Structures are given as structure tokens and as C-alpha cells.
Amino acid sequence: MSDQKQERNQELAAWLMEAWRRSAVHYGLWLGETIHQVGLEPALAMEAEAGDAFTSILLRRLSKILDFEIRDGVPAPLAELPGEKLEALAEAVSLNWLALDGVWFQAVERARALQDAQRANDTCWTRFSPFEAKRIMTLAEIPESGGLDALITALGLRLYARINVQEIVRESESSFVFYMRECRVQSARKRKNMTPYPCKPGGLMEYRHFAWTIDSRIQTECVACPPDETGPDYACAWRFTLEDPA
């Protein structure tokens, strides 16, 4: 390949990466504005329709150009990778999601202030947690108002579940405590001799809205989360109680 062609290919490859970025931002802006216009729950229902349609269009176009088969809505070459490679990819994608959250937080904090970043973070969780819960319910066929068993299943299918170490301790038929035994964010801060990040306000938004989406009868209580003192064997802990389990 000539140097000129190689340079042109490099430019096209870079343009493709930029196009992915613009598309992702445009999709997010559509969702954000729809939430603003019609409210969260109707917007998530619309996202389910739009997201399924867009994924189908995307895969059909890419499969024609890259010559791969689509099998049950998934590119066949991806599904045919060795299990350990798929596990590694799943972890990498989850870590990239966490990195996305972190770089946005840091960018807002540097440009404005810590309080602005925390406020943006907390608001994002009030929207992302219901979205993730709805996606999990759809993909795992978790019924509405499925109680604590449904919540336990859903917590194990979050993006966080692939990168953090978590444990559930059942207290009774109507309650359990969710322990984050190892948190990537807090562990990284500990290695750098930094104080724990005070994530309790964001955590309240995150877990409360996730649980409410799974079953509106579930109440969320923070057992301990920074800036609270936590135990030596967990980063944070949350109690979920099902009101009127009958």
C-alpha cells in the first residue's frame, strides 16, 4: 500500500471513531431532552423502542459491509469468541463505563467545582439507575413488582457487578443487606493514600432509584457509605426492605 493510501485510510479510520462519538452523544442528547419534555418513565419506554430499532439498523448495515452473520441479534463472530475472551471483553466494557463516569466527573470538577460535579453525578444516577434496571428487567425477563428476589437478581446483572465484589446477606423474608466488599473507585483512592470519596449522596440516588424501578414497594436505607465510617471488609452497605410483602 502506498504511503498516500495508508494516510488516507488512517484519516478514514479516525473519522469513523469520531462518527461513533458524535452518534453516542446525539443518542444521549435525544434521551436527555425526551426525559425533560415528557418525563423519565415515558422517555425510557420510548428509548426501548428507539434503542431496539437503532441496534437492528446498525447491525444490518455493518454486517453487509463487514460480511458477518447476525445470530439472535448478536454478531456471530463475537458470539464465537472463546469464553475467556468474552469474559475479558465484558469486564473491559464495564470498566470503560466506569471510566466514562469518572472522566466526566473530573472534567466538570476541574472546569467548575466539586459541588457542581457531585450535583451532575447525582442527577445522572436518578436517570441511569432506572434505565439500567429497565434494561435488566427486559433482558432477564424479570417481572414487575417481583419483590426482593427480583432485586437480588437485578443487582447481580448490573455493570458494577462485573468489576466490583459484592455480597448479599438476607436478614429476613422482607429485607436484605447489600455489601460492596470491594469497590474499584475506593480501592484506587486507598492505593493512592487518598481519603474515601464521599459517595453517599450519589449512592442514595443510585440504589433508591434502581430498587424503586424493580419494585416500588422496596425501601432503601444506607447502612454505611463514605463519608460514614465503614467496616474493614466493605466499602459501603445498603439495606433493602420490602414494604407489605404480602
* Level-2 CATH architecture, domain 83-246: 2-Layer Sandwich (3.30)
* pLDDT(122) > 70: yes
pLDDT for 151-202, tens place per residue? 999 999 999 999 999 999 999 999 999 999 999 999 988 899 988 889 999 9
Confidence of residue 2 (pLDDT cuts 50, 70, 90): confident
Q: If we measure between CA atoms, which residue out of 228, 239, 30, 198 comes closest to residue 105?
A: 198
The mean-pLDDT minimum among 25-29, 52-56, 232-236, 242-246 falls in 242-246
Please state, rounded to an integer, the average pLDDT across all residues of the chain.
95
* pLDDT(148) > 70: yes
Query: What is the model's pTM?
Result: 0.93
pLDDT for position 124? 95
Ranges of each domain in the chain:
30-80, 83-246
pLDDT-above-70 percentage for the chain: 99
C-alpha dihedral sign at 12, 16, 22, 27: positive
pLDDT for position 164? 95
pLDDT for position 1? 72
Confidence of residue 244 (pLDDT cuts 50, 70, 90): confident
* pLDDT(246) > 80: no
CA distances from 74 to 8, 20, 62, 77, 97 (A): 31, 19, 12, 9, 20
Give SS3 for 238. Answer: strand
Which residue, chain included where needed, has cell 500500500?
1
Give SS3 for 35. Answer: helix
* pLDDT(134) > 90: yes
* pLDDT(49) > 70: yes
Confidence of residue 245 (pLDDT cuts 50, 70, 90): low
For residues 118 and 203, is the Cβ–Cβ distance under 8 A?
no
* Mean pLDDT of the region 119-139: 96
* pLDDT(99) > 70: yes
